Amino acid sequence: MKQDNKAVRETPLVIETRGLERNYRLGTETVRALRGVDLEIRRNEYVAVMGPSGSGKSTLMNLIGCLDSPTSGEYRLNGQLVSGLSDDALARVRNREIGFVFQTFNLLPRSTALDNVALPLIYAGRPKAERRERAMDALASVELADRMTHRPNELSGGQRQRVAIARALVTKPSILLADEPTGNLDSKTSEDIMMLFDRLHQDGQTIVMVTHERDIAARAERVVTLLDGCIASDNLQDPLRFPTLAERSSG
Amino acid sequence: MTFGEAFRSALEMILAHKLRAFFTILGTVVGVTFLIAVITLIEGMDAYITDEFAGQIFGVNSVMVRRSPSVTISGDPEYFRELRRRPSVRFEDAEWLAERVETPGTMAISSSSGGQVDGPVGRSISGVRITGASASFFRVRSMNVEQGRAFQQQEDEAGVPVAVIGRDVADGLFEGTNPLGKTIRIQSFPYQVIGVLERQGSLFGISMDNQVIAPARSAMNGYVNPRGVLDEIIYQVPEPRLLPGAQVEIEGWMRIRNGLRPNEPNNFEVETAEASLSFWTQITQVMLVALPGLVGISLVVGGVVIMNIMLVSVTERTREIGLRKSLGARRKDILRQFVIEAGTLAGMGGLIGIGLGGALAALVAAVSPLPAQLAPWSVLLGLALGVGVGITAGAYPAYRAAGLDPIEALGHE
Ligand SMILES: Nc1ncnc2c1ncn2[C@@H]1O[C@H](COP(=O)(O)OP(=O)(O)OP(=O)(O)O)[C@@H](O)[C@H]1O
Ligand SMILES: [Mg+2]
């Protein structure tokens, strides 16, 4: 289903891929994890990526997040061709443009929540006072202002994922990528995280999220389904509206 | 991130992995410890030989005329046969030279051997260094008599049986009673004690106080060496700058004395302390290159050990590297982090090694006659080598890991 709405068409593209392929060599065999993916994502979209296990969802997310390089095809981020970038330029893109949320949180185990969140700002070359302030703000925005000095092993799974989300957001990236962000969380905690995503989206954040669960995908405006490394369907939908925490407690 | 912050985060990382840090440090510590200990001992030995030994055995600013070299490191039997064919150095040679040498200076003669000295009431000491010398010998060797007096030139020329004894001999034969005026027997010849030498200390564990000095023309003549034969003629000049001239002049006179033709080689030795010590300089040079070389190799081996530990550590931390890269760290950011960590560890190891090496050398110096002297350059060398090896060992694996795509590194378990 094509997007014909004029307003949508005029919104700038954040992500644009053309014939994106990614092969993995396993000994003599070649696994074609992605076989030519064309995908456009505009600013402030909320996209859920679905598909069976092994269909290439993570592979796609890693390419979009510049954590991996495609075997062939083009990838433009905010209009800039990523493929030809130098190592240092890529590091800069990861640092400034992309916030990546992993299924397994990937926090530094021996650092406090605050230090974990401030880490990307170190690589952004921000001074210490600013890092501290922005990391505190980011933690406050995921409702963890009171857990700043805790280390990951002193936090619950949901709290860890919120630290990871705060870390992804602290550099104000143009896109938030999340690969099964609730995959390691129970349904109650998942619900909290999804409400956080809803709110971020309402605040204007562009989000791409991989999920296996229909009811989580239902919150997005658009669902891209992968099958064997190809896009099988790409549907706009009316996102199911869930009351936010604030709405729930006030109403 | 400023350097200070990087350094602090390195310290935190080190404290967080104490065991790993310990093993990383260990390689550097062992290498640097031995490096410092060995250099310290060699340096100490060198200072000892050139300062103490040279002064005591050869005297300062002196030219020695001997039949054969005082130190021989050759093993050639033909060379030894040649030495035995040489004429002896005799009293008459000294007198003949004394009349002719023009370079200002003082001449002394001496002959020494080991032997037994008997005191009163059946006491005796063996292994005493017994020297027959001229009266000038005390001045030439800077030996002071602390009790009584040295013998005079007239006593020397007349061969009066008087003796100056070392502290050990005095203590051993007279046990605290005043030895002056008492009689001792050297090879059954009676000698009257007229002086006790100031304490000389020891060389390589051999006491220099276990000695007796008596006039060369007394019964010493014929006891220490065959009659009329000397070990050496010593000529001391008042200033070091006169030494080379004196050496050349004495060599020339001796060639005339021995009737050598111009193309014939010397059949005697003319030595100075410096020349005699050249063998030692060569030895220390070889030791300073070879021993620390060996230790240096062990340091490199230690470095390989560190490299392995760092390799394991980096492999363990490849996920961390992947994560940092995924958050925007550049390769050089990663590298800097690991270099600072490895450098800090190796620096600590180097410092510990320097401390332990110094302690080890001091211990060796305390329990053996070998002296020790901590050379500042060895401290710098040890530190530089330790840190260099540590950084190389730490940086290389990190450099490799930092080259991976973030996702590759993150997928690492
Ligand atoms: N590092 C790799 N080496 C080799 N093959 C890989 C690698 N990563 C992924 N693959 C293969 O690529 C294909 C796509 O994998 P991908 O992880 O993208 O799937 P996915 O859709 O994320 O699956 P899941 O839902 O299980 O996470 C799979 O067949 C997988 O086996
Ligand atoms: Mg996946």
Nearest CA to ligand 1 atom 1: A24
The string of pLDDT tens digits covering residues A124-182 is 999 999 999 999 999 999 999 999 999 999 999 999 999 999 999 999 999 999 999 99
Q: What is the mean pLDDT of chain A?
A: 91
The number of the ligand 1 atom at minimal distance from the alpha carbon of A229 is 14
Residue A88 tokens read as 């240092």
Contact B406 A122 (CB under 8 A): no
- Give me the residue from A87, A110, A120 closest to B327, CB to CB: A120
With contact defined as beta carbons under 8 Å apart, do A155 and A147 qualify? yes
> CB distance from B316 to chain A under 8 Å?
no
ipTM metric: 0.91
Distance CA B92, CA B230 (A): 10
Ligand 2 centroid–CA B405 distance in Å is 17
> CB distance from B323 to chain A under 8 Å?
yes
Task: Go through the domains of chain A in sequence order and give each one's CATH number.
Answer: 5-239 (3.40.50.300)
Contact A87 B326 (CB under 8 A): no
Q: What is the pLDDT of residue A251?
A: 42
> CB distance from B406 to chain A under 8 Å?
yes
Distance CA A80, CA A35 (A): 22
Contact A87 B327 (CB under 8 A): no
The string of pLDDT tens digits covering residues A48-102 is 999 999 999 999 999 999 999 999 999 999 999 998 899 999 999 999 999 999 9
With contact defined as beta carbons under 8 Å apart, do B190 and B161 qualify? yes
Contact B328 A106 (CB under 8 A): no
Nearest ligand to the C-alpha atom of residue B407: 1
> Which among B369, B20, B381 has a CA at the least distance from the CA of B202?
B369
* Mean pLDDT of the region A192-204: 94
Q: How far is CA B146 from the centre of its chain?
A: 28
Residue B165 tokens read as 């004894």
Q: Which amino acid is at B133?
A: A
- Give me the residue from A106, A122, A171 closest to B323, CB to CB: A106
For the beta sheet containing A222-227, the strands, ordered from the edge strand earlier in sequence to the opposite edge, are: A98-101, A175-179, A207-210, A46-50, A222-227, A230-236
A-proximal residues of B, 324-353, CB under 8 Å: 324-331, 333
Please tell me whether residue B259 adopts helix, strand or coil conformation: coil
Nearest CA in chain A to B320: A108
Contact B405 A106 (CB under 8 A): no
Residue B369 tokens read as 């006659």
Contact B405 A67 (CB under 8 A): yes
> Strand B145-148 relative to strand B162-165: parallel, antiparallel, unpaired?
unpaired
Phi, psi of A236 (to 5 degrees): -85, 145
Q: Determine which helix (DSSP H) or strand (DSSP E) holds B113, and give its type and residue range.
A: strand B106-118
Nearest CA to ligand 1 atom 24: A53
Q: What is the pLDDT of residue A241?
A: 63
Nearest CA to ligand 1 atom 17: A58
Ramachandran assignment for B370, one of left (phi > 0), alpha (psi -120 to 50 degrees), beta (any other): beta
> CB distance from B51 to chain A under 8 Å?
no
Domain boundaries, chain B: 3-52+280-410, 87-267
The number of the ligand 1 atom at minimal distance from the alpha carbon of A55 is 21
Contact A108 B325 (CB under 8 A): no
Nearest ligand to the C-alpha atom of residue A55: 1
Q: Which residues line ligand 1 (CB under 6 A)?
A: A 24, 26, 31, 33, 51, 53-59; B 411
Residue A98's DSSP bridge partners are A175
Nearest CA to ligand 1 atom 4: A24
- Give me the residue from B5, B320, B327 closest to A95, CB to CB: B327
DSSP A77: E
Ligand 2 centroid–CA A211 distance in Å is 9
- Exposure string of B104-126, with b = 16+ CB inside 10 Å and e = fewer, is ebbbbbbbbeebebbbeeeeebe
Residue B284 tokens read as 């220390």
With contact defined as beta carbons under 8 Å apart, do A179 and A58 qualify? yes
The count of C-alpha atoms lying within 13 angstroms of the C-alpha of A232, restricted to the half-sphere facing its C-beta, is 12
Residue A49's DSSP bridge partners are A210, A224
With contact defined as beta carbons under 8 Å apart, do B386 and B31 qualify? yes
Q: How far is CA B257 from the centre of its chain?
A: 37
Ramachandran assignment for B227, one of left (phi > 0), alpha (psi -120 to 50 degrees), beta (any other): beta
Contact B328 A108 (CB under 8 A): no
Q: What is the pLDDT of residue A6?
A: 58
Residue given tokens 């200033």 in the structure block? B239
Contact A62 B327 (CB under 8 A): no
With contact defined as beta carbons under 8 Å apart, do B125 and B42 qualify? no
Distance CA A41, CA B90 (A): 110
Ligand 2 centroid–CA A15 distance in Å is 20
The string of pLDDT tens digits covering residues A1-48 is 444 555 556 789 999 999 999 999 988 999 999 999 999 999 999 999
Residues in A closer than 8 angstroms to B13, CB to CB, are: 110
Q: Which residues surround ligand 2, an ion (CB under 5 A)?
A: A 58
Residues in A closer than 8 angstroms to B321, CB to CB, are: none
Nearest CA in chain B to A125: B1
Inter-residue long-range contacts of A123-126, CB under 8 Å, 24+ positions, other chains counted: A123/A91, A123/A95, A123/B324, A123/B327, A123/B328, A123/B329, A123/B330, A123/B333, A124/A95, A124/A96, A124/A171, A124/B328
- Give me the residue from A67, A87, A128 closest to B326, CB to CB: A67
Residue given tokens 């051999």 in the structure block? B206
pLDDT exceeds 60 at position A248: no
- Give me the residue from A65, A88, A171 closest to B330, CB to CB: A88
- pLDDT less than 70: residues of chain B: 1, 50-59, 73, 203-205, 275-277, 279, 292, 295, 298-299, 306, 369-370, 412-413
DSSP B58: I
